[in-house]
Amino acid sequence: MPMSDLVPVILCGGAGTRLWPLSRPERPKQFHALAGNHSLLQQTVLRAVRITDAAPVVVTSAAHSGTVREQLEEIGVPPACIIVEPCARNTAPAIALAAHCVLETRPDALMWVLPSDHMIGDVAALAAAAGAAAAAARAGRLATYGIRPTEPHTNYGYIRAGGAVPGLSGVAAVTAFLEKPDRQKAERFVADGGYYWNSGMFVFSAAVVLEELARHAPKVSRPVAEAWAARTGEGPLVHPAADPFAAAEAISIDYAVMERTDRAVVAPLDAAWSDIGSWAAIWDLQEKDGDGNALAGRTFALDSRRCYTRTQKPVALIGVEDLVVVETDEAILICRRDRAEAVKEAAAALAAVAGG
């Protein structure tokens, strides 16, 4: 039976510049079908409604609110509301807006905060972790998901888990949130076994997270409350007042609350998770030929291995290895797979040149 008190809160911001040139400011990665027939946003919502029958709350920008509505209509999932941020202020203000919405409309429900641009292969494992996190949230805790690391990744933050929490199962106390480590530290974290990747997914009650925001981040709490109180709206779209919202501190929920609260717990999750953070991550997810190539589009490969292509024009790969080739109407990317994390820097540099 689906959980009815778990309200999906979908955070649909971000530019996704690590997936340039496909992901662009006007249509970032969450709106693209990168693995499967649905966009990452649609896959996120479809996973959520398999676990809960509560309508989702989506937080997005004015530039993307129309696309959000279109993509939810395509999959037949009407939102409870679409909160349109007047400006980007990071995840703490976005979550605070959603908390006010949920507190007014579903005061006894829990918020299930989900980024819109992640992949999760094992929905059953996600449901089990959601159940454990929800039980903790009903007991007044702030629960996050910790992804069991499969390698010493240096591009994720980590969570250090402590002991069991009395009266709760499937979660552990959080003893520390750790910044992205160097390779040596990451190897130590993985070998230790008590560390998890920080997923950016949470479960808590609206009242509890607003209480913790007021305690630990008043520069978020007060202006967001003012922005919500002065909101306007039409249909499912809700527009918080621009001036007070712009005054809110731009800070993540991790920094604002999770690292400061004494109520944080972590629910371990082993569910074939990926944040789709680079073209190399997409290559990991694709079916490959006998030479390890994942070729999308009209690509001919000769004596080439472990390459990824996503192109519109015909492409020939001859005698190359470990390349990423992505072509759109606006730009072409060619890089080694092991340098795919640097695409964000290239996108920023090219944008600066274009702007100049």
Considering the entire predicted model, what is its pTM? 0.93
Domain that holds residue 345: 279-355
- Look up residue 175 and give its two tokens: 């003893």
- Distance, CA of 308 to CA of 133 (rounded, Å): 37
- Distance, CA of 300 to CA of 315 (rounded, Å): 6
Q: What is the pLDDT of residue 3?
A: 80
Q: Return the percentage of the chain with pLDDT > 90, whole number.
A: 86
Do 227 and 208 belong to one domain? yes
Give yes or no for a cis peptide into 28 (omega within 30° of 0). Answer: no
Q: Is 264 inside a domain boundary?
A: yes
Do 29 and 155 belong to one domain? yes
Do 158 and 98 belong to one domain? yes
Q: What kind and span of H or E run contains 10?
A: strand 6-11
Q: Is 1 inside a domain boundary?
A: no
- Bridge partners of 58, per DSSP, are 10, 82
Within the chain, residue ranges assigned H as helices are 40-51, 65-74, 91-105, 123-138, 183-192, 206-216, 218-229, 242-246, 253, 279-285, 343-355
Q: Is 20 inside a domain boundary?
A: yes
Query: Beta-strand (E) ranges in 293-331?
Result: 294-296, 299-302, 308-310, 315-318, 323-327
Judged by DSSP in three states, 340 sits in helix
- Look up residue 147 and give its two tokens: 């992804």
Do 307 and 172 belong to one domain? no
Do 288 and 202 belong to one domain? no
Do 287 and 143 belong to one domain? no
* pLDDT, tens digit, 9 for 90 and up, residues 78-128: 999 999 999 999 999 999 999 999 999 999 999 999 999 999 999 999 999
Number of domains in the chain: 2
Do 95 and 200 belong to one domain? yes
Residue listed under structure tokens 């998901």? 145
CATH number of the domain to which 242 belongs: 3.90.550.10
Q: What is the pLDDT of residue 238?
A: 97
Calculate ∠ Cα 308-269-340, nearest 5°.
25
In this predicted structure, which of 70-79, 246-255, 292-301 has the lowest mean pLDDT? 292-301
In the DSSP assignment, the letter for residue 52 is B
Do 156 and 299 belong to one domain? no
